Structure 1
Amino acid sequence: MDSRFEERLTSVGFTTLTPIQSAVAEPLANGQSIDALAPTGTGKTLAFTWPLLPKLVPEDGEQLLILAPSQELAMQTTRVVRDWANVLSLKVLSLTGGANIKHQLDRLKKHPEILIGTPGRVSELINNGKLKLKRLRTLILDEADELLRDDTANQIDIIWDAIDDDDVQVALFGATEVDPSTASGLFNREFLRIDQRQVAIPTEIKHEFWLTARDQRQKRLRQLAAEKRFQAIVFFNTTKQLKITASFLAHEHVAMATLARGDSSTTRAKSLTNFRQGKAKFLLTTDAAARGLDIPDLPAVINFDLPRDGETYTHRAGRTGRMGKVGTVISFGNDHDFRDLKKMVAVDIQAISGGKGLPKAEKVPVTEKTSHKNQNETHVARPKSKSPKVDQPRKKKVAATDSVSRQERFAKEKRAKRKHRKNKGKPKHN
């Protein structure tokens, strides 16, 4: 590590590198192309920042390109990298969709050494002849498994065609494995696999499943909003359900922010800022919008909708308990959902039933034999009858008496009317 970085780390009390940071330092510094895997929240951004930045030459043009799958992750990476680039007098430029392209073009004219962007905007600038990458030395794909899928993979192909240099170092980073043949075929090289996913890292993440009927999930969020010093990213599978829940929370005066595709970059940036500053209890988002987000000391992650696979659960869970901190993952659903989730992920998940709020929840065991009906009864509060069972026959008897008395009353009124009609017109006797 560069001595200037070491001095700064020492000044802030940082003493130990994470396993992934130690493992990739030498290969990256030596110019090797690598495929690096590590759990979420283990410092992968700094893992490639520290070894690569000292290799860059100030005022020598665009030398390092870092690609991320979302605007938020690109901006987050920009903040982290710029913090260390300033130590070496290096310039950093963010190239993301939704941002002011004219401003980005003006900054490009200054030829910053480090570019950090989303594939869509970077490929757009390349196609329009506004971005040249002939001086590039290193290409980083952050969350590589996401970048090498579907339409994004086509954009990566366009970017690589603009580089097409065997001497350019390529590094793939992520928590999920990339098909080696896909990466090798695209970049025409073999990658050194560095897999640190099985290396134990001290962590205190609790995984909880809150037995909750679908129509009660929004109320669960309202209950959690009352907890002091509590914040959470809330994950949804669809933007539609996200917006429905956002409307409910707004009506309940719960401070929250939303992060969804389709929102302007200004709106998304404001949502993240409010959440980071503690102005919002919840950040409502989808998997696509929140991939790789780093919110320091985030207490919890909530799965309003259960993830569709174990990989998605892992990425969601990685937003809390980062760098060994304490965190909680809360999932909503019924007992069938609970069984499905246990098959999906290899972590110890505690079932929670009843109670209001995080510290008051009552922990109960849930077994495979528990019926769906019984599970619903454990978490839906039902008013208990105050009258003992022995009173039930008495209720029926009273009801029967009421019925007879009404019939007698109607019969009496009918006889009175008949008598009235019979005597109508007849003289009255004094």
Structure 2
Amino acid sequence: MLMYQLLGGSLNRGHVPGTPGNMFNYSGPRGIKVRGQLLPEEVEAARGDGYLDAVHAVVGTPELIAAAMQMPGGVEIVQHAKLLVIDEADACAEAATKALDSVLSAALGPAISPRPAVVLVGASLVASATPQLFRTRGWLRDEQSVIVPGSGTTPLGPPASVRHRYIAIERKEQALATLCRQLQADYQGSGPDEAPPRTIVFAPSEAQAAAIADPLRRVLWGAARLSVLLPGGADALRTLSAFRDGSATLLVTTPAAARGLDLPAVQAVYCLGPPADAAQHAHVVGRLGRIGGGPGTATSLVTPGAELEQLRAVAAELGVQVEPLAAPEAVPLDPEAGVQRLRKGLDDLFSMY
């Protein structure tokens, strides 16, 4: 999507997959042609019918680009490239080592002259072993480092404008109910005439993300429109487009999907459980504080003891302060509380379970 925008494309509501004039048919204001290697079907097209003929830019995953290059029948994709940009380079190096080796060996082989420029990008790149790996393999020469100032107090640090807080829950089973109540409280705090804050909820796994989606949708009915983005799910581009253009205001996903999500004006992030490590938390919280999004608030729901200590250790490594937040009060089921509050409490309990 970013490549599409850089070449002059619009990300308005009409430019979504399956519609005329979408990004996959767009050739740019100067006839610049972009193609993807993001689906198995695109690999087959590249190997069979000239899908990549006269293309100026190819966007894809290391695995699928390597598959399209594989003989017999493979096509040359990177052998004539002038620029190679590897986004989330540390994750690519870790998860797709063999494919990345195949792609870079073809692009930077001894017979290639002149060598293309190689750009490594990533929020957690400085703190990883990836640059040394690239040096050792001969993929980096005469390198220069560019660190964006003001992004945090450490190389991994999230934006300094983000507020960090946590809610301690006694049992994991309380996480969904606590999340629902806190979302309701935060939505009410935004004012009756304001649009609901653009929010991302991170669940620890795809199964948990799918499981909490319907309860959240029922509890927040009328207050937020919800989409679910799963790394292995279908229609990921439609989901992202819905969140970008405001058709959805709450996105449920996993930390594995956090890398590379450039979603404007996200105001709140909620995490069910502690971060696995500082790099993961930096990417999750890094969805906040982006251009057009204001400062933002990150809220983690953790149990006392090991989970809370893990969160505090990660916060210390990132150089941020995490503040305690009292769990939102459950809507009382006491008839003396009044009919409306009693009904609200019963509705929430029914919706969550």
Query: TM-score, normalised to structure 1's length?
Result: 0.59
3-state SS of paired residue (2:162): strand
Structure 2 equivalent of residue 366 of structure 1: none
Q: Is 1:334–2:303 an aligned residue pair?
A: yes
Q: CA offset at residue 297 of structure 1?
A: 0.6
Q: Is 1:115–2:50 an aligned residue pair?
A: no
Partners of 1:98 and 1:134 in 2: CA distance: 21
Q: Is 1:93–2:26 an aligned residue pair?
A: no
**Aligned with residue 79 of structure 2, among 125, 130, 134:** 134
Q: Is 1:344–2:314 an aligned residue pair?
A: yes
Task: Say if 1:331 and 1:200 are closer, same or farther in 2 by CA, change over 3 A.
Answer: closer
Partners of 2:43 and 2:34 in 1: CA distance: 16
3-state SS of paired residue (2:296): strand
AA in 1 matched with 2:287: R
3-state SS of paired residue (1:245): helix
Partners of 1:132 and 1:195 in 2: CA distance: 27
3-state SS of paired residue (1:174): coil
Partners of 1:81 and 1:98 in 2: CA distance: 25
Q: Is 1:160–2:104 an aligned residue pair?
A: yes
AA in 2 matched with 1:162: A
Task: Say if 1:126 and 1:200 are closer, same or farther in 2 by CA, change over 3 A.
Answer: closer
Partners of 2:249 and 2:181 in 1: CA distance: 12
Partners of 1:294 and 1:158 in 2: CA distance: 28
Q: CA offset at residue 382 of structure 1?
A: 8.5
Structure 2 equivalent of residue 283 of structure 1: 251
**Aligned with residue 223 of structure 1, among 178, 181, 205:** 181
1:345-376 Cα deviation digits (max 9, x unpaired)? 220111110336xxxxxxxxxxxxxxxxxxxx
Judge conservation of contact 1:259–1:283 (CA < 8 Å) in 2.
Answer: yes
Judge conservation of contact 1:231–1:298 (CA < 8 Å) in 2.
Answer: yes
3-state SS of paired residue (1:322): coil
Q: CA offset at residue 225 of structure 1?
A: 4.9
1:90-129 Cα deviation digits (max 9, x unpaired)? 2222221255545556563432111111112111101141
Q: CA offset at residue 306 of structure 1?
A: 1.8
AA in 2 matched with 1:168: P
Structure 1 equivalent of residue 205 of structure 2: 238
AA in 2 matched with 1:293: L
Partners of 1:272 and 1:223 in 2: CA distance: 26
3-state SS of paired residue (2:325): strand
Judge conservation of contact 1:93–1:107 (CA < 8 Å) in 2.
Answer: no
Structure 2 equivalent of residue 298 of structure 1: 266
Partners of 2:97 and 2:231 in 1: CA distance: 19
- Taking the TM superposition and a 5 Å limit, the aligned residue runs for 1:2-401 are 76-83=1-8, 86-97=28-39, 100-101=42-43, 106=49, 108-127=51-70, 128-150=73-95, 152-163=96-107, 164=109, 165=112, 167-176=115-124, 177=126, 178-179=128-129, 180-196=131-147, 199=150, 203-213=160-170, 214-226=172-184, 227=187, 228-252=195-219, 254=221, 255-264=225-234, 267-323=235-291, 325-336=294-305, 337-345=307-315, 346-355=319-328
Judge conservation of contact 1:97–1:120 (CA < 8 Å) in 2.
Answer: no
AA in 2 matched with 1:347: V
AA in 1 matched with 2:309: R
Q: CA offset at residue 342 of structure 1?
A: 1.6
Q: CA offset at residue 253 of structure 1?
A: 6.3
Partners of 1:383 and 1:294 in 2: CA distance: 42
Partners of 1:241 and 1:256 in 2: CA distance: 15
Q: Gaps spanning 5+ residues in structure 1: where?
A: 1-75, 357-379, 387-430
Task: Say if 1:104 and 1:277 are closer, same or farther in 2 by CA, change over 3 A.
Answer: farther
Task: Say if 1:100 and 1:94 are closer, same or farther in 2 by CA, change over 3 A.
Answer: closer
1:10-59 Cα deviation digits (max 9, x unpaired)? xxxxxxxxxxxxxxxxxxxxxxxxxxxxxxxxxxxxxxxxxxxxxxxxxx
CA RMSD of aligned residues (A): 3.0
Q: CA offset at residue 287 of structure 1?
A: 2.3
Query: TM-score, normalised to structure 2's length?
Result: 0.70
Q: CA offset at residue 195 of structure 1?
A: 4.5
Q: CA offset at residue 191 of structure 1?
A: 4.8
Judge conservation of contact 1:119–1:155 (CA < 8 Å) in 2.
Answer: yes
Task: Say if 1:98 and 1:258 are closer, same or farther in 2 by CA, change over 3 A.
Answer: farther
Q: CA offset at residue 190 of structure 1?
A: 3.1
Partners of 1:88 and 1:326 in 2: CA distance: 37
Deviates more, 1:99-108 or 1:281-290: 99-108
Partners of 1:182 and 1:191 in 2: CA distance: 15
Q: CA offset at residue 215 of structure 1?
A: 2.1
Partners of 2:139 and 2:263 in 1: CA distance: 36
Count of residue correspondences: 284
Q: CA offset at residue 250 of structure 1?
A: 4.4
Partners of 1:307 and 1:79 in 2: CA distance: 32
Percent identity over the alignment?
Answer: 22
3-state SS of paired residue (2:265): coil
